[in-house]
Amino acid sequence: MQNKTKQKQEENQRNEANKVQVGEEEMAGLARPQFVLFGSSIVQMSFSNGGWGAILADIYARKADIVLRGYSGWNSRRALQVLHQVFPKDAAVQPSLVVVYFGGNDSIHPHQTGLGPHVPLPEYVDNMTKIALHLKSLSDKTRVIFLTAPPVDEDLMNTTLGNVFDMVRTNEACGVYSQACMKLCDEIGVKGVDLWSSIQQTDNWKNCFTDGIHLSPQGSKVVVKEILKVIKEAEWEPSLDCRFMPVEFPEDSPYDMVGNDGKTINICNFDFNKTALWDY
């Protein structure tokens, strides 16, 4: 019964996605749902080095566009300053999903000069609350997932970055900001991914980083797994689970690949390596 419901849901979403609106002078083309990644360096770098943004783009090929809005070095204070520019309320198309990551830079200890990215915990919570409420107000179908600050490998971080940045960033502080973020998510009804805990629960978790802070391919796989888990379990309508989202241009064609039986094979929705990599 559940499979039939899912199949019907998929069919309805496909039909909706394939609709075109005819105006007086033009016809609107297909528009894929947009998933926007908004955050600091862990977002900006998410398409490099086997990054989690690139993995999501692969998984959602022909189903959703992964839009990158990452700003290395930023904290929640700077994010709030540009929030209405990045996500204007009067935009013609609003995102279907926004994945937000700020917190690691906020958690850096205050610098003696008064400069630097540190944001006190109460202000961080207030900033993230304002970000969440703005994003939720964009449309009744805009969904939001917050990623918490991941852990840091302090020894590796100090070795690789200690001669570049004068900063004190500890795993303990990242944990405090992570817990505050998850508590906030519960209070305002936003989905959250506790990266600080999930990464440290993996085997040899320090291999999840390239320099103690930024993610290795192993770390990015943890992020993708946790995001897909949230999307799978969320009771969102329409569903953002890639298994049930419509494929763009799914129709059969005489130009499709030809099989051994001499007939064309529509491969638009073949999983290829994806089912081997991701256990949904």
Q: Is 126 a catalytic residue?
A: no
- What b-and-e string marks burial along 204-218, b requiring 16 or more CB atoms within 10 Å of the CB? ebbebbbebbbbbeb
State yes or no: is 111 an active-site residue: no
CB atoms under 10 Å from CB of 138, counted, come to 17
CA angle 165, 178, 242 (to 5 degrees): 105
Catalytic residue, chosen from 40, 46, 198, 220, is 40
Which residue, 61, 80, 90, 51, is CA-closest to 215? 51
User: Residue 138 contacts by C-beta under 8 Å, 6 or more apart in sequence?
Assistant: 87, 89, 91, 94, 95
- Bridging pattern class, strands 257-258 and 264-265: antiparallel
- 40: annotated active-site residue: yes
Yes or no: say if 245 and 32 are a contact pair by the CB < 8 Å rule.
Answer: no
| Annotated catalytic residue, options 178, 198, 214, 220 | 214
Q: 58, 65, 126, 211: which one is catalytic?
A: 211
Report the catalytic residues. Answer: 40, 211, 214
